[in-house]
Copies of this chain bind each other. A is one copy, B any other.
Amino acid sequence: MKKTIESLGEFGLIDKIKEWVPRSPKMICGIGDDTAVFRASSGTYQLLTIDTIVEDIDFKLSKARPEEIGWKALGINLSDIAAMGGTPKLAVISLTLPRKTSLQFVKGFYAGAGKLAKKFNVSIVGGDLSKGAKMSASVALLGESNPRRTIFRKGAKVGDFICVTGTLGGSILGKHLSFTPRIKEGEFLARHGVSSMIDISDGFLQDLNHLVYTPGVTFMISEREIPISKAAMKLARGNRRKALNHALSDGEDFELLCTVSPKNFHKVQKNWRRRFVIPFTAIGRVVRSSEAYRSQARRLGFQHF
Which chain A residues have a beta carbon within 8 Å of chain B's beta carbons?
Answer: 2-6, 8, 10, 13-14, 16-17, 20-22, 24, 26-27, 30-31, 33, 35-36, 38, 40-42, 44, 46, 48-54, 56-58, 89-90, 92-94, 96-97, 99-104, 106-107, 110-111, 114, 118, 123-134, 136, 138, 140, 142
Quick check: A50 and B138 within 8 Å, CB to CB?
yes
Task: Tell me, rounded to whole Å, the shortest Cβ–Cβ distance linking A9 to chain B.
Answer: 10
Copies of this chain, count:
2
Quick check: A128 and B51 within 8 Å, CB to CB?
yes
Quick check: B138 and A35 within 8 Å, CB to CB?
no
Q: How long is the Cα–Cα vector from A94 to B14 in the complex, in angstroms?
A: 12
Q: CB-nearest residue of chain B relative to A132?
A: B54
List the B side residues contacting A17 at CB < 8 Å.
106, 110, 127
Q: CB-nearest residue of chain B relative to A92?
A: B50
Task: Tell me, rounded to whole Å, the shortest Cβ–Cβ distance linking A182 to chain B.
Answer: 19
Task: Tell me, rounded to whole Å, the shortest Cβ–Cβ distance linking A42 to chain B.
Answer: 4
Quick check: B48 and A92 within 8 Å, CB to CB?
yes
Q: How long is the Cα–Cα vector from A94 to B27 in the complex, in angstroms?
A: 19
